[in-house]
Amino acid sequence: DPPALRVVGLQKHFPVRGLRSKKVVHAVDDVDLELHAGSVVALVGESGSGKSTVARLLARLMPATGGTIELDGRDVTGGGRRAFRRYVGRVQMIFQDPFGSLNPVHTVRYILTRSLRIHRGRLRGEALEEALAELLERVHLAPVERYVDKYPHELSGGQRQRVAIARALAADPEVLLADEPISMLDVSIRLGILNLLRDLRDRMGIAILYITHDIASARYFADRTMVMYAGRVVEVGDSESVTQDPRHPYTQLLVGSAPDPDDMSTRARGAHGEAPSLVSPPPGCRFNTRCPFATDLCREEVPELLDVGDGRAAACWGYSDRSDRPRLGSVLEA
Ligand code: ATP
Ligand code: MG
């Protein structure tokens, strides 16, 4: 089967505002990604690395400046209004802040009914009640009567996120894009939401992109993990090996310097300098300004994702067979 969603060479350059400015923010460059039915891919990286931009491009909340997007093997990069609507139904997004994403003046019934009508046509009476009950049961908000006439402020953060997930499910999606879906929730209920998403993966075969700062939750939840740095993918592979045996110096820094997942970006930055400017990113490997092993090669040429065994790949010249490659060591001791 073709992947539910495949992107090749995804790029987003934002224009920099200002008089006659021709500069751009290189937010996302050359990202390849496949999401398969019934599996979870985690997208990990520090703040500003381009994770949300990737999700927003995949949800088509804004146009890409380069690359192609395929849904079920069909190129949907262009496409008119109809193609766009179809696509948006198939690919649903869940946001970080369930309060901000649910309109406070509407009840759960209204929110879900609206989504059902947009995506499944005019449901009424018994059929509508059944669909509402099914949606709420899917996200473990039962009995239905207890939740369906509530307003968002009458629900806990976790319950609100479940309603947001139910609203996405009303579209009968193939793909869920979950942008830090648990980071604003109380620690005690985070696992419940991840387990719910995992259940949707297993029982409904939904493909999930899980965006997070928290590499430990990526290991717990995702089948594959993809690490981004300054708009580019630096490492990808099965979650267990990427998190337990990272190959790219940046991933090693991320894993090694983040005992407290919530504090990952500040620690990683504090330990080894700032992330580069995305308006004029350094040539070559974007991590070269922070990498203790960087050589002239790293400062001049962009490394491709190189096979490092076990179906894993790292975008680091250290894994090439070039004679001028950098010699890697332990990033935390360097
Ligand atoms: P975080 O972990 O903080 O959510 P992120 O990895 O999701 O970060 P993005 O929000 O994708 O990062 O941002 C990537 C880069 O693109 C940042 O430098 C950001 O400032 C820039 N950016 C994002 N949206 C825009 C925009 N609309 N216009 C200009 N620049 C933008
Ligand atoms: Mg983000």
SS3 29: strand
| Average pLDDT of the segment spanning 79-93 | 79
Question: In terms of DSSP bridges, do strands 5-15 and 175-179 run parallel, antiparallel, or are they unpaired?
Answer: unpaired
Kindly state the helix (H) or strand (E) to which residue 99 belongs, with its residue range. Answer: helix 98-101
Can you give the pLDDT at residue 264?
47
Can you give the pLDDT at residue 210?
98
Total number of domains constituting the chain? 1
Is the predicted pLDDT of residue 5 greater than 80, yes or no?
A: yes
- Which residue among 10, 12, 14, 182 has the greatest number of ligand 1 atoms within 8 angstroms of its CB, and so is best to mutate? 14
- Nearest residue (by CA) to ligand 1, atom 20, is 48
Can you give the pLDDT at residue 100?
86
Task: Please state the separation of Cα 253 from the chain's center in Å.
Answer: 20
Domain annotation covers residue 259: no
SS3 69: strand
| Average pLDDT of the segment spanning 248-259 | 83
| Average pLDDT of the segment spanning 246-266 | 72
| Average pLDDT of the segment spanning 196-210 | 97
Task: Please indicate whether residue 159, judged by its CB atom, sits closer than 6 Å to ligand 1.
Answer: no
Can you give the pLDDT at residue 76?
86
Of 232 and 213, the structure prediction assigns the larger pLDDT to 232
The residue written with tokens 């093997």 in the block is 73
> Among all ligands shown, which has an atom nearest to the Cα of 12?
1
Closest ligand 1 atom, residue 53 Cα: 11
d(CA 265, ligand 1 centre) in Å? 14
- Phi/psi at 300 (5° precision): -115, -40
Domain annotation covers residue 13: yes
CB 108 within 8 A of CB 147: yes
Task: Please indicate whether residue 66, judged by its CB atom, sits closer than 6 Å to ligand 1.
Answer: no
Domain annotation covers residue 255: no
- The C-alpha atoms of residue 218 and residue 45 are separated, in whole angstroms, by 11
Can you give the pLDDT at residue 10?
98
Domain annotation covers residue 225: yes
Is the predicted pLDDT of residue 163 greater than 70, yes or no?
A: yes
Closest ligand 1 atom, residue 231 Cα: 14
d(CA 27, ligand 1 centre) in Å? 6
Closest ligand 1 atom, residue 265 Cα: 2
Phi-psi region of 73 (alpha: psi -120 to 50; beta: other; left: phi over 0): left
Banded pLDDT at 267 (limits 50, 70, 90): very low
Task: Please indicate whether residue 45, judged by its CB atom, sits closer than 6 Å to ligand 1.
Answer: yes
Can you give the pLDDT at residue 265?
47
Residue 27's CATH number: 3.40.50.300
- The C-alpha atoms of residue 49 and residue 263 are separated, in whole angstroms, by 15
- Nearest residue (by CA) to ligand 1, atom 3, is 47
| Average pLDDT of the segment spanning 166-184 | 96
The sheet that has 224-229: what strands, in order across it?
Answer: 91-94, 175-179, 207-212, 40-44, 224-229, 232-238, 312-314, 306-309
Going from the C-alpha of 203 to that of each of 3, 152, 197, the distances in angstroms are 18, 27, 10
Is the predicted pLDDT of residue 268 greater than 70, yes or no?
A: no
| Residue 77 neighbours by CB under 8 Å, 6+ apart | 64, 67, 68, 69
Closest ligand 1 atom, residue 228 Cα: 6
**Protein residues within 5 Å, CB atom, of ion ligand 2:** 52
Task: Please indicate whether residue 47, judged by its CB atom, sits closer than 6 Å to ligand 1.
Answer: yes
- The C-alpha atoms of residue 245 and residue 251 are separated, in whole angstroms, by 9
Domain annotation covers residue 250: no
Is the predicted pLDDT of residue 160 greater than 90, yes or no?
A: yes
Is the predicted pLDDT of residue 270 greater than 70, yes or no?
A: no
pLDDT, averaged across the chain:
91
Can you give the pLDDT at residue 272?
58
Banded pLDDT at 275 (limits 50, 70, 90): confident
Domain annotation covers residue 190: yes
Going from the C-alpha of 1 to that of each of 34, 69, 73, the distances in angstroms are 12, 16, 9
Can you give the pLDDT at residue 323?
94
Domain annotation covers residue 182: yes
Per the structure, the complete domain to which residue 12 belongs is given by: 5-240
Can you give the pLDDT at residue 302?
97
Question: In terms of DSSP bridges, do strands 175-179 and 207-212 run parallel, antiparallel, or are they unpaired?
Answer: parallel
Closest ligand 1 atom, residue 45 Cα: 6
Domain annotation covers residue 106: yes
Banded pLDDT at 259 (limits 50, 70, 90): low
